[in-house]
Amino acid sequence: MAGTMKRDYSLVGESARRAIETGLASAEWYHTDVPRKAMKELMQRSDGPAIRDTIIWIVAILGSAAGGIYFWGTWWCVPFFFAYGVLYGSSSDSRWHECGHGTAFRTRWMNDVVYQIASFMLMRNPVTWRWSHARHHTDTIIVGRDAEIAVMRPPDLLRAALAFTGILDFRYSLPALVRQAFGKLSPDEKSYVPEMEQHKAVTAARWHIAIYIATIALALTMRSWVPLVLIGLPRLYGTWHMVLTGLLQHIGLADNVIDHRLNSRTVYMNPISRFIYWNMNFHVEHHMFPMVPYHALPRLHELIKHDLPEPNPSMWHAYREVWPVLLRQLRYEDYFLKRELPPTARPYRGEFHDVNMAAE
């Protein structure tokens, strides 16, 4: 008798095999029709916005770090490190992301430099994560294929809560870097990093570990926590904003579909969060057209919103929407929030909805 089988989130397991067999892997995704001329304008690259935003970012990082050091030993250092932590541990995620796509700056080396720095700040191997993110865009929330599913089903709410503290990043990211520095890539990593690129992942991990060792040595020499509070530990205490915004990208929505309108979420956010997040709150738009730079996403949103679900008007609204879905998924992991398309939307190809990845 056929029974229900749990989702297998490993990239080399049963779900991966089924995703390939059913055509969910590397499938053709739904795209809203956009005239070539308009899309070409939206895709245009420019160094200006990203240089401006990066200067603001760096000045804010250096300023908050200077304030934290100046007031070290008093409570006045707390607001400075609060800001520094978010700039280091959260803003770096969107910089990593956009520069990884190569869309932030027009000039390639500028993307690469910011990408490497942001990867270090995030304790992410710049090589393995570049490839995992390419997979994420190929097979977004396809179980057994997507290496970047933040909350799996049934949801582990404790794990999701701990993510806000950054503890899990230390628990997994740092040991992963150490493992990679010793030349060992996991089977999952080997499934999406081409063999010819794997040695680069090892080299990058060794550089990261070397910097951490130097930082620890400096802290010991100075007999001070300051070097560690500035380098490394912000990944613990500054991660919360990245998680706050990032979780909303796909949480509670459909998996195993090939329409980003159904598995991704656009949320209107306040200007500060949008600066930290580099407009990735327009997440349906980003997934549908990853060629469009972050600074053009609001224009893209205006162009295609007639074809997309209604955006959540705030983060608060989105979390209120998500919470009951997560609670229900604890008992019924196949449950998800079905996005309603507007009357003006083109219909979705529904055949992939009929594929039940959890059923055997």
Hey, how many other C-beta atoms are within 10 angstroms of the C-beta on 108?
A: 10
Degrees (nearest 5) of the Cα angle 232, 237, 241?
115
Closest approach, Cβ 137 to another protein, in A, equals: 6
Closest approach, Cβ 125 to another protein, in A, equals: 12
Give the length of the chain: 360
Closest approach, Cβ 181 to another protein, in A, equals: 20
Q: Across the chain, how many H-helices and E-strands are there?
A: 20, 0
Closest approach, Cβ 320 to another protein, in A, equals: 34
247 within 8 A of 157, measured Cβ to Cβ: no
> Maximum CA pair distance of the chain?
69
- Nearer residue to another protein within complex by CB, 153 or 287: 287
- Nearer residue to another protein within complex by CB, 197 or 340: 197
Closest to 90 in 3D by CA, of 232, 277, 215: 277
- Nearer residue to another protein within complex by CB, 106 or 353: 106
- Nearer residue to another protein within complex by CB, 106 or 206: 106
Closest approach, Cβ 134 to another protein, in A, equals: 4
- Nearer residue to another protein within complex by CB, 299 or 328: 299
- Nearer residue to another protein within complex by CB, 7 or 295: 295
The helix/strand/coil state of 303 is: helix
Which amino acid, one-letter code, is at 15?
A: S
- Nearer residue to another protein within complex by CB, 2 or 196: 196
Closest approach, Cβ 271 to another protein, in A, equals: 27
Which amino acid, one-letter code, is at 300?
A: L
Question: Where in 202-340 does DSSP place strands (E)?
Answer: none
Hey, how many other C-beta atoms are within 10 angstroms of the C-beta on 25?
A: 18
What residues make contact with another protein under the rule CB under 8 A?
26, 40, 43-45, 101-103, 106, 108, 127, 130-131, 134, 137-138, 194, 196-197, 289-291
Half-sphere exposure of 142 (CA within 13 A, CB side): 30
Closest approach, Cβ 149 to another protein, in A, equals: 18
User: Is residue 91 classed exposed, middle or buried when 0-12, 13-18 and 19+ CB atoms within 10 A define those classes?
Assistant: buried
